Each structure stands twice: as C-alpha cells, then as structure tokens.
Chain A
Amino acid sequence: MKSQKKNIDRRSFLRTSALAGGGMIIGFNLFNACKPKVKPAIDISKLNFNDFNGFIKIADNGMVTIFAPNPEIGQGVKTSMPMLIAEELDVSWDNVHVVQGGLDMDVFQRQVAGGSQSIRHGWEPLRQTGATAKQMLVNAAAAKWGVDAKECSVENGVISNKKGEKLGYGEVVLDAAKLEVPKDVKLKNPKDFKIIGQDVQNVDVDEIITGKSLFGIDFKREGMLYASVMRPPAFGQKLVSFDDAEAKSKEGVVDVFQFGDKIAVLATSTWIAMQAKKNLKATWKEDTTLESTEDHDKILFDLLAGNTFETLRKDGDINKAFKEADSVLERTYESPFLPHNCLEPMNFFADVTDKKVELVGPIQTPAGTANRIAKELERDIKDVSLEMTRMGGGFGRRLYGDFAIEAALISNIAKKPIQVLFSREDDMADGIYKPAIKYNISAAIKDSKVTGYHLKEAAINSNMYGLISNFFPAGAIENYQVDIANYKSNITTGAWRAPYTNFLAFAEQSFFDELAETMDVDKIQLRLDLLQNVKGTTDERIEYSPERLEAVINEAVEKSNWGKVDKNTYQGFAAYYCHNTHVAEVADVVMEAGVPVVKKVTCVLDCGIVVNPLGARNQVEGGVLDGIGHAMYGNLEFKQGVPQSTNFHNYRLVRMKETPKVEVHFIKNEIAPTGLGEPALPPASAAVANAIKAATGIRITKQPFINASEKIFG
C-alpha cells in the first residue's frame, strides 16, 4: 500500500490579514506546491484569487465564512470540505457560512471535481488550515491575557484560560491577523471530532428548495443573447452548406453564422433560438466512416479474438496454467455506449471583448478549460476569467469543456455576451460518451483451485488506465494477465462515473459467481479464499487492502442477512475496490408477475473516516441506483453515425417505482477518508445480475439487462 507524501509548508499556503471592515481574512492554498509569492491582502474585495484558492473570513462577531475551493456537482464537497476547516478551527457549524470560491489559475492544484478525490486530497491541508487559524486566535488571546497559549482551551469559537476568563474569536481577530503564522500546529485526535462524523445538511439546501438561481443555466446578463447550435447530426459528417433565410426571418433572431462545422443561431430568447435552429437547412457530407453499433460489435469481438493486445499486468504463466487445467471457464461480457444525461443540459456563458474573456458556467475543469479557450482565441490567459456555478449533475461530462469553448467562439464572433444551451436532444446527440466495451474472461481451475485468470478488454477509443489492472483479483491468482485492445472511432468518448470500473466490476463480479458455480463452492467463500493470497503482499501496484475488502464482505453478509432471507427473496453478491474505497453489496430480488424486481440493496463501504454521514449516505445511495438504473436500461446505439436515442422518451432512466431501498453501512475506522461519489456504483450491477440469476436461473452477460433475455423481462 502506498502512502501519500505529506510535507506541507504552511508558510507558503496560508496568509492572514485584518479586514478593513473588521475581522480577519485567511487565505490558503490547498496544497503545498503552491508558489510562495503570495502577498497579504487587506480587503476582501481586493483579494486576488490568483493568490489563493480558498479563504476563511472571521468577522468580529465571530461568524465564519468559508470560501470553498471546489466546484459542486452534487457530491457534497461544498459541504464536507468546509466541515474539515470548521472542525479544526473549533467553531460551531451553526456559525459557519459557506460560499463557492472562484477560479484560481496560477496556483491551481486540484480544483477538479472528478475521481472522487476531493476529500482525499483536502483531508490534511484543510484541517491544517483550520488548526493554524485557531492557533493564531489562541495566541492572540494568550498575549492579551499575558498567559501561555498552552494553558488556553477552545470550545465553539470561545477561548478560555485557567482563570476562567473568556474571549470570543471575534474579539481577538484583529490581533490575530497581525501575528506570525505558527509553524507547528497539532491536529485533533479523531476521537475528539465534533463536526466531522456528524450529519450536516447540504449547505445550499435552502437555495435549492426555494428555486434560487444557482446553476449555469440560470446565469443572465443584460443584453445577453441566447445561442442554439446546430452540429453535425452524425459522427463523421462535415458541413457543406446551409440556408438560413427562413431562420433569419423569424422575429427575435439576431444572427446566424457558421463556426467550424457548426452553425450558431443567436436570438433574444432560448425558445426563439431553439425553434429557429429547426428552420435551418444544412447539407452535410461524409468525412470519415459513419459507424453503427453493429460494426462496433463485430470490431470488438474481432479484437477480443485477435492478437493486437497490449499487456498491462502479467503474473506467472497463464498459458501453462490453462494447458494444465482440469477445466476452464470462459465468458464474454458486453456493455453499450452511455450518455451522461446530466439533468441540467450543457451550457455556458461567454462575453468576449477586446479587453477580456469572461466565462461563467458549470464546469468540472475550470483551469484547463480557461487555458484551452485562451489558446483557441489566441488571448493571454490573464485576460480570461472563469466563474464556476453549481452544476446540475456531472457524472464526468463536465470534465470536458467543449460547450464552454463553443460559447467563447460564438461570443468572439458575435462580440456580444451569449449563453449557449444544449437542448436535451443536443445533449444526448453531442455527448462524450462512456465507450462501448467488451470483456472476455477465462479462468483455469486445477485441483479445485483457481490457477489462472486472463482478462481481455476490447474498447472503443481507449482502455482502462492507471492501476485498474491491479485491482482485485490481481495478486490473488498465481497466473494472471490483463490484456487490452482498442478501436479508434470518430464517436467521442470519455469519463463516465467510475470510468472502466463501472463495467469491469460487473464483468468480474458476475464471473466470480459463475466460477463458484462451476467449481461448486460457496460464492462468497471463493472470494474470501482468494483474498487470503493477497495478504502480506509486497507488490507496490496492489493498492487495495485484502483485510479491508474481507471486512466489508463479512459485514455485508451479516447486514444483508445473506442466506437467511425468506424463500421468495433471491440474493446476489458483489464486492469491489476502486477509487480507494472497498465496497460489498447484496441485492435482494423478488419475482413479481414473473419479472425479477430489485427490492433492496445492502451496501457496506470502507471509505475511511466518514466526514458527513448524511451526505455520504446520499452519495452512496445515488451511486448504487445509478449503477442499477444504467445496467437495467442504459443503451445508446448508433446507426450510420447517428445516435438512436434523442430524449427521455427513447432513453430510459431509472425512476421512482423502479427504485429499491438502499441500506448503507460504513466500516468505522480512523483512516483518512477516500472518495464516495463513484465507488458504490460499480458493484451494484453485478449484485443485481447475480440476484437475477438466483431468481430466474438466467445469467445476464450483457447490458442493458432489459434487452438481455425475453425470458426475464418479457
């Protein structure tokens, strides 16, 4: 297991200053590598966001405002990250107000909401920040009293000394701001946490339930025009010509123009822009091959059967293991393209003038996107500002800045402030999809042991990356090999919630059930036995812990009443490690009118310390249901380059009545927290498929399940 490097130079990541209007401001940079060129700021309105990526303001009435550095897409980091600061600062959460911070270009570290890593990366530095601020306040109080700071204690923003005298933070902020930033502060023992580990509601909940404008789509600017964009209807097409006479004749249409292979319609309202786009007559021509799902199926099967693989991990000799095996099990698993379908469609605001490039909208990668736009427009990055809004879902789609670049290009031509909004149809047809992937897995069995394991991945555009090939069962089987191959398509693909593992977990955890059946051993015991082989490993690439995986498995067995449910309930099991989190899930299925229905999912996770259990349960529940919903119904097919689903009438998302209950349990420990937005998703589909097998006798190897077999869903 690897440990994260920890050497935080607080001097370079924290500065304080008195505020003109009273109170104190603390600017901090999330990570140690930040450049130590920061000058103290004097007034919050003059604070330069190039210097810091987060701020704490302590007012002279003791109220604390935390400017959260990370964008919010629904994973709750805007709530949980400030909780870390408030914990060490020792203030009452009721006195804390959280505001979304702006973009920091220069000292940018990881202002990316993706990969479930925000909490993991912020855990240490954010607590250090809070603790440092607290120490300064205590030092200021101690100086005032003429006592040793060590003799002072703090509770809920009130400092006390041995004589029983008390000073609120608000009373010492001005003095504290003048003090040196202390070098060595002590972090709390997790046992003493008061805020971390408590259920804290989403900090934006009041705004959300009253319909306040928070999202990118809600951003308005005086004189702003609404842009609707016509893009090539098929992947592989180019624009030849277009006739905009009818569109331009519509009242409210301000301009129509081509940019690249796209046509922008600018109008005085969203509706007019969307309607006028339908009046455009464009001619397209084939530029590269127009691909269909049938072609992809054949191509991926050919890749699996071929020999163009790259090997990602190779232990022992699988050929020998398969030659000497008593028996071999081989299965192929298939998954389609998936669109993200964030409920808030892609959109962005841009105002490009001679002086500046102003961008506002929902984006997970503000720095990278701002840089790309600077390049596209040949502008100095100093002219570019990008403000993040709340995001109506991300799921990976908003890592890509295509929509922001479109907005910038259009505003640059129109020389007006504009907002690009994708219609739902645009959003589905112009996606950056989860690629279609197929896995072929074989296992060699000898003397009732798994002696060889061979996983082959055939994917569109790109393959599994990073350490994924070293996830379980890597390290557990002597002869083990992971091979990958891909086909470069003109259909755009990218990250989709829990990239690769979202389907890999389905394939492998379905396979283990089949393997146990073939070997005639207990399904869970097979996994536990294999885990024993990983204990004590010195393999640096293995980052999962066999002990922690074993613990979540055992806990899931107990919490789900595994094997002890009534005879009409059929259970399926899956366990997985990804995004630094160990998870085990059990799905309970019953037959209703001859059709298997998922009633409940029990989910046990080890994600280290749970910062905000309320938010964490919400994340896990969402992840499990997303995994099940997409496995059941998610499917985007192509014909001649054209996506065959266009809107929610022909693309099915999971809805209320298809939603099982989700029971979430966290393993209690004092290990640094890991991600939660993603890891609950991958095992869910396998747990359900395994339960459906138990209920119907039919093994599903292809997503979406709903199309898998007429015998199951009619």
Chain B
Amino acid sequence: MAKFKLQVNNKSYDIEVSEDTPILWVLRDHLNLLGTKYGCGIGQCGACTIHLNGEPVRSCSLPISSVVDNSITTIEGISEAGDHPVQLAWKEIDVPQCGYCQAGQIMTATAFLEKNPKPNSDEIRDAMHSNICRCASYNRIEKAVAKAATANS
C-alpha cells in the first residue's frame, strides 16, 4: 500500500491503496463516488469514462500511481445541479434505458463537445462509437449530443 493525494471534482483526497489500483475502484470503493461504472475492466466499453485534465479516459485501465497531480472530474462533478447542457439534453431526449452506461456516455460526450463544439452527425457517431450501450440507446445518444451542441451556438 502507498499513500496518494488525489484531486477529484475540485476536492482533494488522501488515500492509501496499492499503486496498481485503477482509479475506477478508488472512486467507487474508497471515495464512494459511485456514478462511474464498471463494465469490462479492459478499456472496451467506456462505462468508466472520467476526465483527466479535461481529457476523457478509461478509469478502469488507469492505475492511481499514474494520475497523482492531475485533476479528475467524474459524473458527480460536471455540474452542481445536474444542469450541464449535455445532462439537460440527455434528459430532454430521455436517453437512458437501464441507465448503466449513461454516466460514461455523458463523460465522453462532454469532453468531445469541449473539443468540437459544433460537430456534424458523423463526427458525433465517431466520437461515441467507443462507448457501449447494451440497451442500444445509440440513436438517442446521437440526438442528445447534437442537441447539447446547439447550446454552443
């Protein structure tokens, strides 16, 4: 075990875990931030997507030792009141089905729109392709990303 300092959602945390522990499990089991989900553990599904210095990353494949001194944002931290334009679009379009993948989808979408505020539909589909939704809410995800982008105009 080793001691680490982490910056998550603008709060700083001291924790003691083994240095190979993926951030996903640090968030879930140690910091009780349960919005970030486990789906595959090997970087394939995107359920665990968080932002590392604003970049979308797969927290299941990111050991804690590699992220100290970086700032982490999780689904709990992208807005105070659940009113990020992406969240609002998700709600309006009623995207979720079972809902399990949606935190990861939203984290991928918010990071993508930061980079590309006015994407076309191919760009959206490209960006969201790496996130699995087992309930196949894909068409609504595409719509919601496009909708959220209109807030950028």
Contact = CB atoms under 8 A, between A and B. Distances in A.
Which of A206, A252, A618 has the largest count of B CB atoms less than 10 A from its CB? Answer: A618
B68 interface: no
A162 B90 CA distance: 45
A424 B45 CA distance: 11
B30 A211 contact: no
Given A271-B22, A657-B126, A208 B96 contact: yes
B129 interface: yes
Nearest to B33: A211
A656 B138 contact: yes
B135 to A, nearest CB: 5
B82 A206 contact: yes
Contact of B138 (A72, A271, A343, A659): A659
B28 interface: yes
Nearest to A627: B136
B21 A269 contact: yes
Interface of B is mostly: loop
A649 B39 CA distance: 12
A57 to B, nearest CB: 25
B45 A343 contact: yes
B47 A343 contact: yes
Contacts of B133: 343
Which of B33, B44, B90 has the largest count of A CB atoms less than 10 A from its CB? Answer: B44
Interface in A182-198: none
A213 interface: yes
B91 interface: yes
Contact of B125 (A251, A615, A656): A656
Given A392-B98, A653-B132, A659 B47 contact: no
Interface in B36-77: 36-42, 44-45, 47, 74-76
Nearest to A74: B98
A341 B134 CA distance: 8
A211 B135 contact: no
Contacts of B8: none
Which of B90, B91, B138 has the largest count of A CB atoms less than 10 A from its CB? Answer: B138
A393 B132 contact: no
A48 to B, nearest CB: 30
Contacts of B75: 210-211
Contacts of A274: 41
Given A424-B41, A657-B126, A625 B138 contact: yes
B103 interface: yes
Contacts of A647: 40-42, 44
Contacts of A220: 32, 34
Interface in B1-53: 1, 17-18, 20-22, 25, 28-30, 32-42, 44-45, 47
Nearest to A268: B29
A621 B134 contact: no
Given A269-B30, A343-B132, A214 B99 contact: yes
B129 A209 contact: no
A657 B129 contact: yes
Contact of A270 (B28, B74, B87, B141): B28
A274 B131 CA distance: 23
Contact of A251 (B1, B101, B142): B1
Contacts of B138: 625, 654-656, 659
Contacts of B103: 208-209, 211
Contacts of B114: none
Given A212-B35, A423-B41, A392 B100 contact: yes
A342 interface: yes
B142 A656 contact: yes
A461 interface: no
Contacts of B149: none
Contacts of B74: 211
A443 to B, nearest CB: 34
Given A345-B38, A649-B44, A654 B96 contact: no
Interface string B100-130: 1111001000000000000000000110111
Contacts of A252: 1, 18
Given A622-B97, A656-B142, A217 B38 contact: yes
Contacts of A215: 37, 99-100
Nearest to B24: A271
A201 B98 contact: no
A629 interface: yes
Contacts of A204: 96, 99
B153 interface: no
B147 interface: no
Contact of B136 (A226, A622, A649): A622
A213 to B, nearest CB: 4
B47 A656 contact: no
Which of B33, B99, B125 has the largest count of A CB atoms less than 10 A from its CB? Answer: B99
A394 B97 CA distance: 11
A213 B36 CA distance: 10
A285 interface: no
A391 B135 CA distance: 12
Given A74-B97, A211-B76, A621 B41 contact: no
Contact of B87 (A209, A659, A661): A209
Given A211-B76, A218-B34, A648-B42, A659 B98 contact: no
Given A393-B98, A655-B138, A659-B136, A205 B41 contact: no
A422 B55 CA distance: 29
Contacts of A629: 136
A662 interface: yes
B100 A626 contact: no
A271 B97 contact: no
A342 B134 contact: yes
Interface string A640-659: 00000001110001111101
Nearest to A650: B44
Contact of A269 (B29, B41, B101, B106): B29
A214 B91 CA distance: 17
A94 B20 CA distance: 48
A344 B37 contact: yes
A684 B76 CA distance: 37
A344 B96 CA distance: 14
A65 B87 CA distance: 25
A424 B106 contact: no
A41 to B, nearest CB: 32
A392 B47 CA distance: 11
Contacts of A271: 17-18, 21-22, 25, 29
Interface string A374-417: 00000000000000001111110000000000000000000000
Contacts of B30: 269
A344 B100 contact: yes
Given A618-B94, A625-B138, A629-B136, 14 more contacts: A205-B90, A205-B96, A206-B82, A208-B103, A211-B33, A215-B99, A220-B34, A270-B25, A271-B29, A393-B100, A622-B135, A648-B39, A648-B44, A653-B134
25 contacts: A74-B97, A209-B91, A210-B76, A210-B87, A211-B33, A217-B38, A226-B29, A271-B17, A271-B18, A342-B134, A343-B135, A344-B39, A344-B98, A424-B40, A424-B42, A614-B94, A621-B140, A626-B136, A649-B42, A655-B130, A655-B132, A656-B128, A656-B131, A659-B125, A659-B139
Pairs A-B, 7 closest by C-beta atoms = A211-B35, A392-B100, A74-B98, A211-B75, A625-B136, A648-B44, A208-B99
Interface of B: 1, 17-18, 20-22, 25, 28-30, 32-42, 44-45, 47, 74-76, 79, 82, 87, 90-91, 94, 96-103, 106, 125-126, 128-142
